[in-house]
A and B are shown apart, each in its own frame.
Chain A
């Protein structure tokens, strides 16, 4: 297992990150307009001074190597848009919020998704299958920019149970988590259903039934472990997506997360911020895919034997 992890890190993760960093570095500079272009014109002298301050007047290859050198030390540089803050600081501020929100959303998605999928799989082609699955389809189809305001309208403005926006109290986490988690819950429900249906028809389940094991044990202990494998594969990129923040949900609920920085950095041509957030997101995806691979090996004996 250790060799597997080390191999993944040195032969896959690091080269991937290098390619991503390089591509992003040059692509963001290709975009028209720069970090300092604004409504009112700036004289060439000031522009030169600004560029000099951020090292943007150096030849591109030198800028690239300087950036890489700093990157190796974990320094993502100063933000161009927010002059008194570094990219490291902005990510360190925003990520915990996105992480927390993502975690609740994941929890919601897993609880609702797995339960719905399980119920549907146990009574296939009955009402208990159609209803949760139709709801899941609805969950996939309703975009968060519709669901979010709808939830706010009902639970905040009409019923007054929750705050309309903000990130001040524990209760402020509920509506954004549901909005963010709904689509994932729907996917998980469908994946759980198909996974479970496949497993429940396997020989070892029949054997377990023949041995006279109680039904709940068959389903939860023998069936579920195999049935959630598709869900776990899906969770790798999904968790990375959930905890790295969502522009839409953060905007609707006024949450100080990473998603808005990620999107706005591109609009602002905040080169360092774009690079920083892209790399951070890439690391998250790679990390969670690695974790998922490890969990899959643990869940699926077949993979273990092959190793």
Chain B
């Protein structure tokens, strides 16, 4: 009985103390600025932190703090600069790269980073049993493809050789001019062999070596805490060879998938940097807090892929008519509003210095004329075709705008179909569509990452399009090292693409996100990579 009497009092007291606990405090951002702790929104919960397993940028954002490859990236241009390799030599035929590793490069447990660690890592990712979906990034290495596909099993045949602890020699099949940039892709990051073998076999998938107490890295930060779906904390690695350059003491990554929730967290001072920003918020920030809004160009193209084997789209004139009758400027300015650029060619401008000189010129008169030449004067007799996109508000709005433009300009009807992501991927793979929304992000800084997609045997060539000349040019471009000659070949290939149009480029992406003014050295980069060791916070 005695206790019962106090229950209301206890309840009141606990509610009161809770409210006291949440009285206005200094925000996390202000505290972070003082303590050099960066709070970053990071999209989805990472699948894993194993560079040989992961598939996306959310994971890379964290791994790039934990591991460092042979080369590293310039924080502004992303050009390759010395990383674990202090310097390197390239043979005259540009097929043999010899890397000289820093003697002072250490793993976070104190072990030296050696050439054989890299050889082990490359062997691991190329092991067929590991099932790495990005292992093809290592295919420029001699015989890497054969090893990965299982046709050879002796790794010594692959072009990777640890001459001694400090010297690593990589032999390529062809001179690959973008090879050093390629080395900055996450697949080339090294793993600590003893740690991998402690928790499983070299080719074993899904072991627990990436857990906080187990993870041994060689990057500027070490993994401290990983609370699933809550936060991942990395802290300064004192063993890192360039620890003096590192200014942040820790980075907290928050897996906030919902842009609205993330924006509220930013507004409340819980985040220094968001992963994204909802389109409907862009104008608000432009007007009220332009200093927080960031719109950076991004190496990706948004386009519609055409199934060229289905009439009437098998006729290039129809495809050209469709491509010319889209007002991209209006889509970018009135629908997207995120600083995107209209895409009048396929490879994003200034991809490692390459910008297509040819471009489509939207022209309604010509579009109508082309459609008439194809046998559909003024759209009469044009069969109803379907446009497929994965379910999303943005894709729907764009599709509706284009549907309207085609209706108004060409007098043709298309119907819109949306499918849930995995269903859409499935439909796309089976080429069971007329037109299909597609987005392509470059993996590395070179036009090749875009243009080799449309070769006849390209795994992502969903258009079913094939052109012998195009294939030859892309193949030839992979074999030569003269940059001017390569770009000429890419230009010719792109010309074919723009005449044949198995795709309709629509816009070039941007990354739109928010940063607090205190974040310094966070430069706009086309791959959205931001080497953390240079970043610091100003109170």
Contacts and interface: CB of A to CB of B under 8 A. Distances in A.
A42 B131 CA distance: 10
Contacts of A36: 133
Contact of A169 (B21, B254, B426): B21
Interface string B393-427: 00000000000000000000000000011110111
Given A169-B21, A253-B261, A256-B227, A41 B129 contact: no
Interface in A1-41: 31-34, 36-41
Given A32-B426, A94-B228, A40 B460 contact: yes
A202 interface: no
Interface string A42-55: 11011001101100
Given A46-B131, A84-B50, A37 B425 contact: yes
A84 B425 contact: no
Interface in A111-143: none
B426 to A, nearest CB: 4
Contacts of B205: 53, 83
Contacts of A254: 254, 256, 258, 261, 265
Given A37-B425, A169-B21, A169-B22, A49 B208 contact: no
B229 A260 contact: yes
B22 A162 contact: yes
Nearest to A268: B422
Nearest to A36: B133
Interface string A154-171: 001100111111110111
B430 to A, nearest CB: 9
Interface in B320-378: none
Contacts of A31: 422-423
A164 B264 contact: yes
Contacts of B134: 40
B258 A170 contact: no
A256 B18 contact: no
Given A32-B426, A45-B128, A49-B128, A84 B265 contact: no
A83 B51 CA distance: 12
The secondary-structure label for the interface of chain A is loop
B230 A256 contact: yes
Using C-beta atoms within 8 Å of the partner chain, give the interface range for chain A. 35 or more
Nearest to B254: A254
Given A49-B129, A53-B129, A169-B22, A38 B268 contact: no
Most chain B beta carbons < 10 A, residue from A38, A84, A149, A164: A84
Nearest to B130: A49
A41 B131 CA distance: 13
Interface in B78-136: 128-136
Nearest to A169: B21
A157 B264 contact: yes
Contacts of A34: 422
B426 A37 contact: yes
B459 A83 contact: no
Contacts of B264: 149, 152, 156-157, 164-165
B24 interface: yes
B153 to A, nearest CB: 14
A251 B19 contact: no
Contacts, number: 141
Contact of A83 (B21, B47, B129, B230): B47
B447 to A, nearest CB: 17
Given A49-B128, A82-B48, A253-B261, A32 B423 contact: yes
B248 to A, nearest CB: 21
Contact of B267 (A83, A157, A166): A157
A252 interface: yes
Contact of B19 (A38, A45, A52, A161): A161
A46 B132 contact: yes
B261 A251 contact: yes
B131 A167 contact: no
Contacts of A32: 422-423, 426-427
Using C-beta atoms within 8 Å of the partner chain, give the interface range for chain B. 35 or more
Interface in A174-223: 174
Nearest to B263: A164
Nearest to B427: A32
Given A84-B208, A90-B228, A160-B24, A53 B131 contact: yes
Contacts of A78: 206
A163 B491 CA distance: 53
Contacts of B208: 84
A46 B18 contact: no
B228 A85 contact: yes
A170 B128 contact: no
B228 A93 contact: yes
B23 A161 contact: yes
Nearest to A49: B131
Contacts of A174: 18
A202 B132 CA distance: 71
Nearest to A86: B206
Interface in B193-232: 205-211, 227-230
Contact of B133 (A46, A82, A84): A46
Interface string B5-25: 000000000000011011110
B126 to A, nearest CB: 11
A149 B278 CA distance: 15
B150 interface: yes
Contact of B150 (A45, A81, A156, A267): A45
Contacts of B53: 83
Nearest to A173: B18
B40 interface: no
B283 interface: no
Contacts of B148: 45
B314 interface: no
Contacts of B258: 251-252, 254
A268 B209 CA distance: 24
Interface in B45-67: 45, 47-48, 50, 53, 55
A267 B422 contact: yes
Nearest to A43: B459
Nearest to B127: A49
B265 A164 contact: yes
A16 to B, nearest CB: 29
A304 to B, nearest CB: 27
A166 B260 contact: no
Nearest to B45: A82
A58 to B, nearest CB: 16
Contacts of B19: 161, 171
A90 B228 CA distance: 8
A46 B203 CA distance: 13
Given A82-B48, A161-B19, A166-B265, 6 more contacts: A32-B427, A50-B133, A53-B131, A152-B264, A164-B261, A171-B22
29 contacts: A32-B426, A33-B422, A33-B425, A37-B422, A37-B429, A40-B459, A41-B460, A43-B459, A46-B128, A49-B129, A50-B131, A53-B205, A81-B47, A83-B47, A83-B50, A83-B53, A84-B48, A84-B50, A157-B264, A160-B24, A161-B23, A165-B265, A171-B19, A171-B21, A251-B257, A251-B261, A252-B261, A254-B261, A261-B229
Q: Which 8 A-B pairs have the closest CB atoms?
A: A33-B422, A171-B22, A41-B459, A256-B229, A83-B206, A50-B131, A164-B268, A49-B131
